[in-house]
């Protein structure tokens, strides 16, 4: 039988494999790129601003005449909004996950799950609009001294945005719990609620914690909702009714202005970015390690 | 008579640390049907999968020893595995036709060799389907999806697919274990006819099948080749007691 | 009241609570959509799509925004799709289990969790400044491509993994090479699921705002880009700009823009989900 020449075919296979290999290396280059860019500018930043000041000063005013470079107010704003967000998403997401995993029929799940995916697909600007122009006025009726920009509305809306994440990851964790454990409990006469709360949740707890950590990481990195509705006043406070500023919103604020390249003010966004990157990186690793340990138990 | 087409010398196979073949040596004569029998887990499948190096796809597989095809060691570095697999074809236990049309299933093996002429392809497709006794049943609709065929038909399609690339040796790994008895009978008839033009090695756990179709038989037990010889002798006058026990049904 | 009755009541209560929690998010989304429709529909005229932004709310439109979105998404797709699918194929079909492969996989998993604004900073430092591309469409496209890459890689791998090993075995046993097996057997089967993943990834990219603001996409552009090196704006940034204006008149424009953006996003997501359902039904192993 006639056949193709073997040598060019081998060369073609080799080139294709190498080409595909370089595609996958790109991800490594991206990480290096991020680390390099952030490190370089942050390094330059710390030549002018002592790192201790950065970490302990309670004022952040790099764009004013009297400059302070303490990141604590921004960290505070970030944590406050994220806390409110997880405060909303955790109970609702968890209850929803228990329902979907232990109560709902297959038909229900097949309808609800794609709908929840759609919820997660809504662009964050839309959520920002909602927070500023619907939720804040609504809350003002209950809390009269709520200011126009505040962390409560943005936190609540952010929470709603991450409900699908909490719900689906928690549900995955619960479904990984073997049926045998449940059956043992049912066999002695427990009802669904008892099985869910006393057997499944504890068994899935590390998987669920991993889900929560991931949700917090997502909330911390969220930008547009807080840029629109939380304000641009860095404040070292835990008051949810006043304007604050998060790390991410600050980066957006500077990018919208005309801060010249190479100046200290320009470098502040990279220093902030570095802080944000390290924070989310640590959280993601925690979540990953927890999840791995959880999966090993139920292998 | 020609010399053996395949010679296996002290073949050992490992999955990770576990040794599954413990030094197999045998010869396969051209244009013969050799049956490999033995209880589950004795290494039969692993053995024939070494002959076309399809075990290379398994991650922690390792082998020692020699497999000589036309006196060339198939595990040598210089060997083109792709060409080897064309010349030593394989049909798997569970029929695995591609999720494409019947025509495309057979034509695939030809297209990857650069054969593209429609007339040529049509001819080879028809011949292969005739050789595997499937032509009459599907000739009116070659475009139908192969997955709509019955299990027995799918397996005959896999045989046709393997025949289309003109191998010398055909390895059959328990080809009838997943299909109905009538199709099994058809395939056994097929093997008998194919042996005139091909060398066939068939793994089977069905002893009656081995007795019916093969010229030579090898009995495997726990990774070792206990006995190998002419089928008639193995079944009528086995030399090893373990062989006799297996054949008379005392275990396995 | 005995314990059993209490337990049963609690169980039933919880079931209701669970159902409410599950649809809570969807209810909120519904309210949001209704709110946006009320505010935005009056603005949705043909002029809206064909006008540039202006200082007067009634005259301001999304022309430069949706054209900018098209340009940027074209660049993003052209770069991210081949690179992402290629990487997915390599990792799933070619890569051996060694430390380098493990390192690459960890990287991809990590990148999927990096906040989008950090990609913006990467784009700013690398494409805008170092490669001197300035605040151009191509810089934006590159940045979004890097952002979308991990998602495309992960969904490609999942699609490839769903194909049973027996198909690969059958192909190799016939004497096909790895690329022949991938190109003629695996990819055609996986294409449906890969496509779903791509559509979902791109629909998220359309809504991305922060990274593009960070690399310097402008919020007021009154011209159409003529080359890849021109400055640009995109739909979500235009919406953001209108929300940030003090004049309340612009809120209606923002709402109208949101309707357009939501429509695009929901349509793409629905197509992707329908594709996935249909595709799962077709391929029965």
CATH number at residue B189: 3.40.50.300
Given CB atoms, is B84 within the 8 Å cutoff of chain A? no
Nearest CB partner across the interface for A4, out of B114, B165, B166: B114
Q: Which of C97, C175, C189 sits opposite B86 (nearest CB)?
A: C175
Nearest Cα residue to B202 out of B222, B233, B176: B176
pLDDT given at position B161: 94
At C282 the pLDDT is 59
Confidence class for position C1, pLDDT limits 50, 70, 90: low
Range of the domain at B205: 6-96+171-247
pLDDT digits (tens, 9 = 90+) for B60-103: 899 999 999 999 999 998 888 888 999 999 999 999 999 899 99
pLDDT at A1: 41
Partner-chain contact C175 B99, CB within 8 Å? no
pLDDT band at C283 (very low <50, low <70, confident <90, very high): low
For residue A51, what are the contacts with CB-CB under 8 A and spacing of at least 6?
none
- Which of A18, A28, A45, A129 would best serve as a mutation to test chain C binding (most C beta carbons within 10 A)? A129
Where are chain A's structural domains? Answer: 6-48, 72-297
Distance in Å, alpha carbon of C236 to nearest chain A alpha carbon: 6
Nearest CA in chain A to C200: A121
B:C CB pairs within 8 Å: 65
Q: What pLDDT shows up at residue A185?
A: 84
Write the ipTM: 0.91
Q: Per CATH, the architecture of C46-282 is what? A: Orthogonal Bundle (1.10)
CA–CA separation, A61 and B201 (whole Å): 82
Q: Is residue B26 part of a domain?
A: yes
Residue C254 — pLDDT band, cuts 50, 70, 90? very high
H-helix or E-strand spanning residue B66: strand B61-69
Q: Treating both helix axes as pointing N-terminal to C-terminal, what angle do C137-161 and C99-111 enclose, rounded to 10 degrees? A: 120
Query: Could you tell me if A21 and A264 are in contact, meaning their C-beta atoms sit under 8 angstroms apart?
Result: no
Strand partners, B26: B8
pLDDT digits (tens, 9 = 90+) for B4-57: 999 999 999 999 899 999 999 999 999 999 999 999 888 999 999 999 999 988
| Residue A3 near chain B (CB below 8 Å) | yes
| CA of B42 vs chain C CAs: smallest distance (Å) | 22
Are C125 and A39 a contacting pair, CB within 8 Å? no
Backbone torsions φ then ψ of B228, nearest 5 degrees: -145, 135
Q: How many structural domains comprise chain B?
A: 1
- Which pLDDT value is given to residue B178? 84
Per-residue pLDDT of A189-244, as tens digits, reads: 788 888 888 888 888 998 999 999 999 999 999 999 999 999 899 989 899 999 99
Note whether C177 contacts B112, CB cutoff 8 Å. Answer: yes
> What pLDDT is recorded for position C100?
92
What is the residue-averaged pLDDT of chain C?
90
- Structural domain includes residue B176: yes
Q: Any CB–CB contact under 8 A between B95 and chain C? A: no
Q: Kindly report the three-state secondary structure assignment for every residue of chain A.
A: CCCCCHHHHHHHHHHHHHHHHHHHHHHHHHHHHHHHHHHHHHHHHHHHCCHHHHHHCCCECCCCCCCCECCHHHHHHHHHHHHHHHHHHHHHHHHHHHHHHHHCCHHHHHHHHHHHHHHHHCCHHHHHHHHHHHHHHHHHHHCCCCCCCCHHHHHHHHHHHHHHHHHHHHHHHHHCCCHHHHHHHHHCCCCHHHHHHHHHHHHCHHHHHHHHHHHHHHHHHCCHHHHHHCCCCCCCCCCCCCCCCCHHHHHHHHHHCCCCCCCHHHHHHHHHHHHHHHHHHHHHHHHHHHHHHHHHHCC
What is chain A's mean pLDDT, rounded?
89
pLDDT value of residue A2: 43
Q: Is the pLDDT of residue A111 over 90?
A: no
Model pLDDT, residue A121: 87
Candidate from C15, C116, C179 with C-beta closest to A223: C116
Q: Mutate which of B78, B82, B107 to test chain A, going by most A C-beta atoms within 10 A? A: B82
B57 touches chain C (CB under 8 A): yes
Residue B222 belongs to some domain of the structure? yes
Of C14, C114, C210, the CB nearest to A248: C210
Binary contact (C177, B82; C-beta < 8 A): yes
User: What confidence tens digit (pLDDT) does each residue in B132-175 have?
Assistant: 889 999 999 999 999 999 999 999 999 999 999 999 999 999 99
The rounded percent of chain C whose pLDDT value lies above 70 is: 98
Residue of B nearest to C189 (CA): B99
Cβ-contact C253, C43 below 8 angstroms: yes
Q: Where are the domains of chain C?
A: 3-43, 46-282
Q: Using a CB-CB distance cutoff of 8 angstroms, which residues of chain C are in contact with residue B87?
A: 175
Q: Which of A119, A124, A261 sits opposite C25 (nearest CB)?
A: A119
Taking an 8 Å cut-off on Cβ atoms, the answer to whether B85 and C185 are in contact is no
Using only the alpha carbons of chain C, give its radius of gyration: 23
| CATH architecture entry for A72-297 | Orthogonal Bundle (1.10)
Nearest neighbour of B147 by CB, restricted to C169, C185, C284: C284
At residue A45, the pLDDT reads 92
Q: In what helix (H) or strand (E) does residue B156 lie, and over which residues does it extend?
A: helix B151-164
Residue with token string 């294709």: A16
| A165-185: pLDDT as tens digits | 999 999 999 988 888 888 888
* Beta carbons of B173 and B139 less than 8 angstroms apart: no
Structure confidence by residue, pLDDT tens digits, C225-245: 888 888 999 999 999 999 988
pLDDT reading at B220 higher than 60: yes
Residue A279 has pLDDT above 90, yes or no: yes
CB-CB neighbors (< 8 A) of B115 in chain A: 1-2
State residue B145's pLDDT score. 92
Say which residue the tokens 């704003």 belong to: A77
From the CA of A202, how many Å to the nearest CA of chain B? 37
**Residue from A4, A11, A30 whose CB has the most chain C CBs within 10 Å, to mutate:** A30
CB contact B54 to C (< 8 Å): yes
pLDDT more than 70, % of chain B: 99
Per-residue confidence (pLDDT) for residue C285, from 0 to 100? 47
Are C35 and A98 a contacting pair at CB < 8 A? no
Interface contact flag, C167 B98, Cβ < 8 Å: yes
Is B136's Cβ below 8 Å from some Cβ in A? no
Kindly state whether residue B113 falls inside one of the protein's structural domains.
no
Cβ-in-10-Å burial (0-12, 13-18, 19+) of A179 comes to exposed
Contact A2 B80 (CB under 8 A): no
Whether the per-residue pLDDT at C281 is higher than 70: the answer is no
Local structure of C259: helix, strand or coil: helix
Residue B84: inside a domain, yes or no?
A: yes
Which chains border A (3 or more CB–CB pairs < 8 Å)? Answer: B, C
**Between chains, do B109 and C172 touch, taking CB under 8 Å as contact?**
no
Interface test with C, best of B61, B87, B91, B99 (most C CBs within 10 A): B99
- Does B3 contact A at CB distance below 8 Å? no
Instruction: Say what the pLDDT of residue C67 is.
Output: 92
- Whether the pLDDT of residue B126 is over 80: the answer is yes
Cross-chain residue pair B96–C175, CB shorter than 8 Å: no
């Amino acid at each position: 039988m006639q056949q193709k020449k073997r040598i060019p075919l081998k060369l073609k296979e080799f080139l294709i494999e190498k080409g595909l290999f370089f595609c996958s290396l790109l991800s490594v280059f991206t990480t290096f790129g991020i680390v390099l860019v952030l490190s370089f500018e942050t390094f330059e930043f710390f030549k002018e601003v002592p790192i201790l000041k950065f970490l302990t000063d309670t004022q952040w005013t790099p764009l004013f005449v009297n400059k302070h470079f303490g990141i604590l107010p921004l960290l505070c704003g970030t944590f406050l909004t994220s806390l409110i967000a997880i405060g909303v998403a955790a109970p609702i997401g968890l209850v929803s996950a228990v329902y979907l995993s232990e109560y709902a029929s297959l038909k229900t799940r097949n309808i609800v799950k794609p709908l929840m995916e759609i919820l997660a697909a809504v662009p964050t600007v839309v959520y920002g609009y909602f927070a500023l122009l619907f939720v804040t006025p609504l809350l003002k009726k209950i809390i009269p001294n709520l200011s126009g920009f505040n962390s409560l509305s943005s936190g609540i809306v952010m929470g709603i945005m991450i409900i699908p994440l909490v719900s689906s990851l928690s549900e995955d964790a619960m479904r990984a719990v073997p049926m045998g454990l449940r059956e043992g409990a049912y066999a002695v006469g427990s009802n669904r609620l008892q099985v869910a709360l006393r057997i499944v949740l504890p068994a899935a707890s590390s998987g669920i914690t991993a889900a929560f950590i991931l949700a917090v990481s997502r909330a911390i990195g969220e930008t547009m909702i807080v840029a629109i509705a939380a304000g641009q006043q860095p404040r070292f406070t835990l008051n949810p009714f006043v304007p604050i500023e998060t790390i991410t919103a600050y980066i957006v604020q500077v990018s919208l202005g005309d801060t010249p390249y190479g100046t200290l003010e320009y470098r502040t966004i990279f220093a902030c970015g570095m802080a944000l990157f390290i924070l989310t990186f640590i959280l993601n690793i925690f979540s990953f390690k927890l999840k791995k340990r959880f999966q090993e138990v139920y292998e | 008579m020609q010399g053996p087409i395949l010679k296996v010398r002290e073949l050992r196979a490992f999955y990770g640390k576990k040794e599954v073949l413990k030094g197999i040596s045998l010869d396969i004569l051209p244009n013969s049907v050799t049956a490999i029998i033995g209880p589950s887990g004795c290494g039969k499948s692993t053995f024939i999968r070494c002959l076309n190096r399809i075990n290379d796809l398994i991650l922690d597989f390792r082998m020692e020893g020699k497999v000589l095809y036309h006196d060339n060691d198939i595990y040598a570095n210089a060997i083109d595995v792709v060409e080897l697999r064309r010349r030593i074809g394989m049909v798997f236990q569970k029929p695995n036709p591609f999720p494409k049309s019947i025509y495309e299933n057979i034509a695939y093996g030809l297209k990857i060799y650069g054969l593209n002429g429609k007339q040529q392809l049509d001819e080879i497709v028809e011949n292969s389907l005739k050789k595997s006794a499937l032509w009459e049943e599907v000739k009116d609709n070659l475009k139908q999806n192969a997955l709509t065929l019955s299990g027995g038909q799918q397996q005959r399609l896999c045989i046709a697919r393997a025949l289309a690339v003109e191998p010398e040796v055909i390895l059959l790994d328990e080809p009838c274990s997943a299909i109905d008895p009538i199709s099994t009978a058809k395939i056994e008839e097929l093997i008998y006819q194919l042996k005139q033009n091909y060398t066939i090695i068939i793994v089977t756990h069905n002893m009656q099948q081995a007795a019916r179709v093969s010229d030579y038989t090898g009995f495997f037990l726990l990774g070792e080749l206990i006995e190998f010889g002419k089928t008639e002798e193995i079944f009528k006058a086995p030399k090893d007691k373990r062989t006799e026990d297996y054949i008379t049904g005392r275990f396995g | 009241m005995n314990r059993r009755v209490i337990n049963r009541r609690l169980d039933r209560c919880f079931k209701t609570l669970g159902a409410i929690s599950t649809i809570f998010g969807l209810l909120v989304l519904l309210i949001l959509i209704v709110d946006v429709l009320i505010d935005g529909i009056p603005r949705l005229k043909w002029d809206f799509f064909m006008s540039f932004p202006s200082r007067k709310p009634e005259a301001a439109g999304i022309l430069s925004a949706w054209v900018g979105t098209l340009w940027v998404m074209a660049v993003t797709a052209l770069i991210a799709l081949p690179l992402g699918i290629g990487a997915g194929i390599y990792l799933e079909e070619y890569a051996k289990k060694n430390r380098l492969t493990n390192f690459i996989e960890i990287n991809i998993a990590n990148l999927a969790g990096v906040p989008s604004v950090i990609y913006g900073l990467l784009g700013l430092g690398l494409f805008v400044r170092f490669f001197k591309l300035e605040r151009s469409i191509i810089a934006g496209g590159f940045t979004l491509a890097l952002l979308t890459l991990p998602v495309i890689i992960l969904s490609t791998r999942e699609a490839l993994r769903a194909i049973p090993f027996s198909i690969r075995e059958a192909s190799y046993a016939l004497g096909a090479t790895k690329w022949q097996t991938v190109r003629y057997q695996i990819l055609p089967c996986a294409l449906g699921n890969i496509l779903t993943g791509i559509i979902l990834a791109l629909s998220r990219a359309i809504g991305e705002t922060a990274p593009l603001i960070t690399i310097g996409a402008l919020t007021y552009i009154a011209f159409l880009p003529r080359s890849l090196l021109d400055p640009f704006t995109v739909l979500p940034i235009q919406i953001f700009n209108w929300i940030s204006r003090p004049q309340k008149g612009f809120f209606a424009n923002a709402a109208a823009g949101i309707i357009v953006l939501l429509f695009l996003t929901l349509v793409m997501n629905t197509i992707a989900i329908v594709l996935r359902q249909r595709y799962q039904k077709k391929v029965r192993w």
